[in-house]
């Protein structure tokens, strides 16, 4: 059997909960899929961001090849058609579980509900993870289970959670050696028309970011946390 990891804005290998979880079962192959929804990008018209996205995907394609993980890049017209393509991949490669990380925009909440109900009909499991955040948003609720409307209460709740949670994990996929599934005509080609972006605006690496988080919490809130790294 095969696991499918659907990446969206989480264009990274290290500290990616969905990817890490999909690779934990060494008996299964792993396919990573990125779908570029065209009508979404036409509305934005952010050409520098689009350029950065392509360069990042090009980088990931090489990294996944080294890890022996198949990487699929597909352009799709809209969201509904992207779900149909996901189903096609699942049927073709006998995938019974899709892994992805939550997106927290308002429009994505309705999409998450639709995705789960759609794939339930085909007996395909959906595993979703709270990934690129310090605290799971579902934990930051009042006694009635509702969202805080007053910032001071919201802040107190966050600090209380952080004081109880003294260790944060970094998950890294480094040694995945299942046999690779080969996809024809799936190579990424970077267009010369894409605008260049200033790499100096993205100076920090993972370790530097984690050091800054630890320093910020200790200096401002007297909270000491540890970062623990888990490898696969």
Share of the chain above pLDDT 90, in %: 20
Contacts (Cβ under 8 Å, ≥6 apart) of 148: 140, 141, 142, 154, 157
Q: Give the residue-averaged pLDDT of 142-155.
A: 88
Q: Say what the pLDDT of residue 63 is.
A: 86
Which domains does the chain possess? 2-177+185-231 (3.40.50.620)
CA distances from 187 to 59, 72, 119 (A): 12, 8, 28
The more confident residue out of 102 and 203 is 102
DSSP letter for each residue of 149-189 = SSHHHHHHHHHHHHHH--EEEEEE-----PPPPP-TT----
Q: Give the pLDDT confidence of 177-190 residue by residue, as tens digits.
A: 555 555 555 555 44
How much is the mean pLDDT over the chain? 78
Share of the chain above pLDDT 70, in %: 72
Give the 3-state secondary structure of residue 125. Answer: strand
Q: Give the residue-averaged pLDDT of 3-7.
A: 94
Q: Give the residue-averaged pLDDT of 62-83.
A: 88
Q: Is a pLDDT exceeding 50 seen at residue 167?
A: yes
Query: How far apart (Å, rounded) are the C-alpha atoms in residues 222 and 82?
Result: 46
Is residue 107 within 8 Å of 75, Cβ to Cβ? no
Least confidently predicted of 37-41, 43-47, 145-149, 222-226: 43-47
Q: Does this model's pTM top 0.85? A: no
The more confident residue out of 3 and 14 is 3
Query: How far apart (Å, rounded) are the C-alpha atoms in residues 182 and 26?
Result: 19
């Amino acid at each position: 059997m095969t696991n499918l990891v659907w990446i969206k804005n989480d264009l990274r290998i290290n500290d990616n909960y969905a990817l890490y979880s999909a690779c934990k079962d060494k008996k299964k192959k792993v396919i990573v899929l990125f779908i570029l929804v065209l009508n979404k990008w036409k509305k934005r018209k952010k050409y520098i961001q689009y350029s950065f996205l392509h360069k990042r995907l090009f980088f990931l394609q090489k990294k996944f090849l080294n890890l022996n993980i198949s990487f699929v890049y597909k352009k799709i017209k809209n969201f509904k058609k992207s779900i149909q393509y996901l189903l096609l991949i699942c049927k073709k490669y006998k995938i019974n579980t899709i892994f992805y990380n939550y997106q927290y925009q308002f429009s994505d909440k309705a999409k998450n509900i639709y995705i789960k109900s759609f794939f339930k009909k085909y007996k395909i499991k959906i595993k979703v993870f709270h990934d690129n955040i310090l605290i799971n948003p579902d934990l930051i609720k009042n006694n009635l289970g509702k969202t805080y409307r007053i910032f001071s209460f919201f802040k107190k709740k966050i600090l209380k959670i952080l004081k109880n949670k003294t260790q944060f994990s970094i998950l890294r996929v480094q040694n995945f050696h299942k046999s690779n599934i080969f996809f024809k005509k799936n190579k990424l080609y970077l267009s010369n028309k894409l605008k260049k972006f200033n790499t100096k605006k993205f100076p920090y690496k993972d370790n530097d970011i984690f050091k800054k988080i630890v320093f910020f919490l200790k200096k401002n809130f007297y909270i000491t946390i540890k970062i623990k790294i888990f490898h696969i």
